[in-house]
Structure 1
Amino acid sequence: MSEQTGTGGLNEYIQHHLQQYAIDFGGGTFHVDTWVVSLFCGLVFIGWFGFYARKATSGVPSKGQAFVEMAMEFVDNQVKDNFHGDRSSITPLAITIFMWVVLMNGMDLLPLDTPGVAIQAVAGADVAAHTFFRWVPTADLNTTAAMSVVVFFLILYHSLKAKGGFGFGKELLTSPFAAENPVTRAVLMPANLGLNIIEYCVKPVSLAMRLFGNMYGGELVFMLIAGLLGGGLLMFVPGVIFNLAWAIFHILIVLLQAFIFMILSVVYIAGAYESH
Structure 2
Amino acid sequence: MSSATAPATDSPVTYIQHHLTNLSVGEGFWTWHLDTLFFGGLLAALIMLVSWRIGRSLDAEKPAGMQNLLETILEFVDGQVKSIFHGRDRLVGPLGLTIFVWVFLMNAMDLIPVDLLPKLAEMMGVHYLKVVPTTDLGTTFALALSVFGLIIIYNIRSKGVIGYIKMFLFHPFGKWLIPVNIVMTTIEEVAKPVSLGLRLFGNMFAGELIFLLIALLPWWIQWPLGGSWAIFHILVITLQAFIFMLLTIVYLSMASQADH
Report if TM-score (shorter chain) is over 0.5: yes
Distance 1:27 1:190 in 2: 33
Q: Which amino acid aligns with 1:211?
A: L
Question: In structure 2, what is the equivalent of residue 175 of structure 1?
Answer: 171
Q: Determine if the alignment matches structure 1 residue 245 to structure 2 residue 247.
A: no
Deviation sequence 1:165-195 (CA, Å, 0-9, x none): 11111122111112xxxxxx2x411111111
After alignment, is 94-103 or 1-10 more displaced?
1-10
Q: Deviations over 1:169-224 (max 9, x none)?
A: 1122111112xxxxxx2x41111111111111000000000000000000000000
Alpha-carbon distance, 1:25 to partner: 6.3
Among 196, 203, 208, the residue aligned to 1:214: 203
Structure number, greater radius of gyration = 1
Q: Aligned to 2:191, which of 184, 190, 202?
A: 202
1:271 and 1:119 mapped to 2: Cα distance?
A: 45
Q: Is the 8 A contact 2:8 2:216 kept in 1?
A: no
* Cα distance in 2 between the residues matched to 1:38 and 1:51: 20
Match of residue 105 from structure 2: 103
Measure the CA separation in 2 of the matches of 1:177 and 1:221: 45
Does the 8 A contact of 1:112 with 1:134 survive in 2?
Answer: no
Shift of 1:107: 0.3
What 5-or-longer segments of structure 2 have no aligned partner? none
Q: Deviations over 1:15-60 (max 9, x none)?
A: 1101110101696211000000000111111111222122112211
1:226 aligns with 2:215: yes
Partner of 1:3: 3
Which stretch of the first structure deviates more once superposed, 24-33 or 98-107?
24-33
Alignment of 1:1-276 (within 5 A): 1-3=1-3, 6-24=8-26, 28-122=30-124, 127=125, 131-178=127-174, 185=175, 187-228=176-217, 231=218, 236-274=219-257, 275-276=259-260
Match of 2:164, SS state, is: helix
The 2-side partners of 1:152 and 1:264 are apart by: 11
- Indicate if the aligned counterparts of 1:10 and 1:227 stay in contact, CA closer than 8 A: yes
Q: Which moved more, 1:156-165 or 1:109-118?
A: 109-118
Q: Which runs of 5+ in 1 are unaligned?
A: 179-184
1: CA distance, partners of 2:29 / 2:164:
36
User: In 1, are the aligned partners of 2:122 and 2:128 still within 8 Å (CA)?
Assistant: no
C-alpha distance 25-227 of structure 1, shift in aligned 2 (>3 A): closer
Q: Percent identical across equivalent pairs? A: 41
CA shift in 2, pair 1:165/1:121, >3 Å: closer
Shift of 1:116: 3.1
Output the amino acid matched with 2:220. V
Residue aligned with 1:135, SS: coil
Query: Scaled by the length of structure 1, what TM-score is found?
Result: 0.89
One-letter amino acid of the structure 1 residue matched with residue 235 of structure 2:
L
CA contact (8 A) 2:134 2:200 kept: yes
* Partner Cα separation in structure 1 for residue 29 and residue 100 of structure 2: 33
Bigger mean CA deviation after superposition, 189-198 or 136-145 = 189-198
Does structure 1 retain, via aligned residues, the 8 Å contact 2:43–2:105? yes
Runs of 4+ in 1 over 6 A off after TM superposition: none
Equivalent AA in structure 2 for residue 3 of structure 1: S
Distance 2:22 2:122 in 1: 18
SS in 1 for 2:26: strand
Shift in Å at residue 2 of structure 1?
Answer: 2.6
Amino acid in structure 1 at the alignment position of 2:11: G
The TM-score, its normalising length taken from structure 2, stands at: 0.94
How far apart, in 1, do the equivalents of 2:21 and 2:102 lie?
23
Report the Cα distance in structure 2 between the residues aligned to 1:79 and 1:34, rounded to whole angstroms: 29
